[in-house]
Amino acid sequence: MHKMLRAAVLALSLLATPVLAQDAAFSRFLAALKPEAIASGVEPSTYDALTQGLTPDPRVPNLVETQPEFTAPVWDYIETRVTDGRIGRGRAALERNANLFSTIGQQYGVDPYLLGAIWGIETDYGAVLSNDSLIRPIVRSLATVTYQQRTRYAEDKADFFAALLLAQRNGGISPIGSWAGAIGHLQVNPTNVIAHGADGDGDGRVDLHTSLADALATSAKFLRDLGYQPGMDWGFEVEVPQGFDYLLATRDQLRPISFFAERGVTRVSGRPFADANTPVFLYVPTGHRGPKFLMTANYLVLKGYNFSDSYAMAVAHLTDRLKGGGTFAAPWPRDTAFPNIAQRKSIQQSLKRLGLYDGAVDGRLGPITQAAYARFQAARGEIADGFITRAAADALAAAQ
C-alpha cells in the first residue's frame, strides 16, 4: 500500500514539475520586465501587486493559434457574424440608442451605423460582456501573450503595460476584457484606450465596459484619429472583365475609381459610382472566382482598428445590412480547400526561399503573403489573383 502511495505521489510530482518550471520562468520573465514597465509610468507598487504570484493563463496559447479571423474562410467568418438575428438586434439597439448614436456620430464625423456594426461584431451589442468565461481581468492574459514573445511582441508588451496603467488609474484593479486584452462594448485594446479614450457621458471617467457612451465615443475618436473620412463609403462590390490584370489588385497604391473604370471594372447591378475621383484599390479576397471590391481609404481605417481583412469585411458588410442593404451579389467559391496552419506556414517558408516574401512565418495569409503568391502565379502564367488554396502548398513545394 505504501509503495502504491509513493508511486502515486511520484507520478503527480512528475506531472507538476513542468508546470512549476513554467511558472518559475514566467515569474522571472515578469521580473525582468519590471524596469521597462516603470519607465512607461507604472508605479513599482502597482506592478508588484498585479504580477506577484501571477501564473500563465492556460487559455491563451490555443486561442492565439486559432483566431477565426485569420484561420476561417472569409465567408465563414462573415456569415457566422452577419446573421439575420444580429442584423435585427442591431437595428433594434440603434433605435433604442438613436440619440446617443446621432450625437457621437455628429461629434466625431463617424457613421453611426459603422459604430453599431463594430459593436455587433465585437460583443453582440454588449451581450458578451456578461459572459464571465470570456470576459476576465486582462493583466494575466496580456502577461501571458507577452510571455509567448510572438512576432507582435512589442505590441503585446505595450498593451500589457497599458493595462497596468489603466489598473493604476482604477485603484489597482485590473481592467476586464477578452483574452487578447480588448476592453468594453467595442473592444478597444489598452494602448488605444489610453491614446484615444473619450468620456462620452461626461462623468469625468472613461469606462468602456459599463458606459456605452464612453465606448462609442472612444471608438469614434479612434476611427477619426486613424483618418476616417466622413461621408465616404468603405467600398463597392464590383465586376471585373475577363482577362483583367489582377496584379493591379494591390493596396500599395490607391488609384481613382476612373482608373479601374477605364479597364472595364463596373459596380454590380449596373449602379453608377458616386465619384470617379475617389481613391480606391481592388480587393479580391477569394480570387477571381469570388466577390470583388473597390475599397476606399475608410476600409484601411477599419484595418487600423483590427488588422484582419475578414474582420474589416464583416464590419463593413454589417454596416450595410443595418442600413437595409442586401447580401453580396457574387457567390463565394465554397468548393475551395484551404490550407491548415502547418501548410500556411509552409507556404510562407516556400515563398521566402523563392525570394518572393520577407514577412513573418506565422501562418497568417494576409495581403503581404497574398501579393507574394500573386507574383509566383504570374511567373507561372496563371491568373495572378493571390488567392492561396491548399493546392498552393503543393505547387510551391514542386517549385523548390
Per-residue pLDDT tens over the stretch 227-255 = 999 999 999 999 999 999 999 999 989 99
Task: Determine if residue 327 is left, alpha or beta; phi over 0 gives left, psi from -120 to 50 gives alpha, anything else beta.
Answer: beta
- Distance (Å, whole) CA 73 – CA 55: 34
User: What does the block give as the cell for 220?
Assistant: 469614434
Are 161 and 42 within 8 A, CB to CB?
A: yes
What pLDDT sits at residue 54? 95
Q: In this structure, are 353 and 303 located in the same domain? A: no
Query: Residue 16: pLDDT band by 50, 70, 90 thresholds?
Result: very low
Q: In this structure, are 142 and 21 located in the same domain? A: yes
Q: Is the model more confident about 38 or about 391?
A: 38
What pLDDT sits at residue 72? 79
Average pLDDT of the residues in 356-370: 90
What do you get for the CA distance between the two ends of the chain, in Å? 61
Residue 252 CB burial class (10 angstroms; 0-12, 13-18, ≥19):
exposed
What pLDDT sits at residue 71? 64
Q: Is the model more confident about 264 or about 59?
A: 264
Residue 2 pLDDT > 80: no
Query: Residue 8: pLDDT band by 50, 70, 90 thresholds?
Result: very low
Q: In this structure, are 312 and 356 located in the same domain? A: no
Q: In this structure, are 13 and 156 located in the same domain? A: yes
Residue 59 pLDDT > 70: yes
Query: Residue 9: pLDDT band by 50, 70, 90 thresholds?
Result: very low
The per-residue pLDDT for range 337-358, each reduced to its tens digit, is: 888 888 999 999 999 999 999 9
Residue 321 pLDDT > 50: yes
Phi, psi dihedrals of residue 45, rounded to the nearest 5°: -65, -35
Residue 294 pLDDT > 80: yes
Distance of CA 110 to the CA centre of its chain: 20
Structural domain contains residue 152: yes
Q: In this structure, are 269 and 240 located in the same domain? A: yes
Helix (H, G, I), strand (E, B) or coil at 266: strand
Structural domain contains residue 209: no
Q: In this structure, are 318 and 350 located in the same domain? A: no
Q: In this structure, how many other beta carbons lie within 10 angstroms of the beta carbon of residue 327?
A: 13
What pLDDT sits at residue 12? 40
Residue 61 pLDDT > 90: no
Query: Residue 15: pLDDT band by 50, 70, 90 thresholds?
Result: very low
Structural domain contains residue 377: yes
Q: What percent helix, strand, coil does the chain show, rounded to 5?
A: 55, 5, 40
Measured CA to CA in angstroms, residue 329 lies from 268, 273, 292, 326, 336 at distances of 7, 16, 10, 8, 19
Residue 17 pLDDT > 80: no
What pLDDT sits at residue 63? 66
Q: In this structure, are 156 and 246 located in the same domain? A: no
Average pLDDT of the residues in 316-323: 99
What pLDDT sits at residue 46? 97
Could you please report the per-residue DSSP string of 334-365?
A: TTPPPP-HHHHHHHHHHHHHTTS--S--SS--
Number of domains in the chain: 3
- Distance (Å, whole) CA 37 – CA 175: 17
Q: In this structure, are 162 and 57 located in the same domain? A: yes
Average pLDDT of the residues in 61-67: 64
What rounded mean pLDDT belongs to the chain? Answer: 92
Residues 6+ apart with CB under 8 A from 72: 310
Structural domain contains residue 313: yes
Structural domain contains residue 219: no
Are 363 and 347 within 8 A, CB to CB?
A: no
What pLDDT sits at residue 11? 42
User: What does the block give as the cell for 338?
Assistant: 484551404
Average pLDDT of the residues in 105-120: 99
Q: In this structure, are 386 and 288 located in the same domain? A: no
Q: Which of 322, 349, 371 is the last residue of a domain?
A: 322
What pLDDT sits at residue 110? 99
Structural domain contains residue 57: yes
What pLDDT sits at residue 299? 98
- Strand pairing partners for 183? 188
Residue 220 CB burial class (10 angstroms; 0-12, 13-18, ≥19):
buried
Q: In this structure, are 284 and 358 located in the same domain? A: no
Range in 21-25, 257-261, 296-300 with the lowest mean pLDDT: 21-25
Q: Which of 287, 322, 357 is the last residue of a domain?
A: 322
- Distance (Å, whole) CA 40 – CA 158: 9
Query: Residue 45: pLDDT band by 50, 70, 90 thresholds?
Result: very high
Task: Residue 370: give the domain boundaries.
Answer: 341-398
The per-residue pLDDT for range 135-173, each reduced to its tens digit, is: 999 999 999 999 988 878 999 999 999 999 999 999 999
- Distance (Å, whole) CA 295 – CA 278: 10
Structural domain contains residue 189: no
What share of the chain in percent tops pLDDT 90?
78
Measured CA to CA in angstroms, residue 144 lies from 80, 306, 363 at distances of 29, 21, 20
Q: In this structure, are 266 and 378 located in the same domain? A: no
Structural domain contains residue 276: yes
Q: In this structure, are 61 and 145 located in the same domain? A: yes
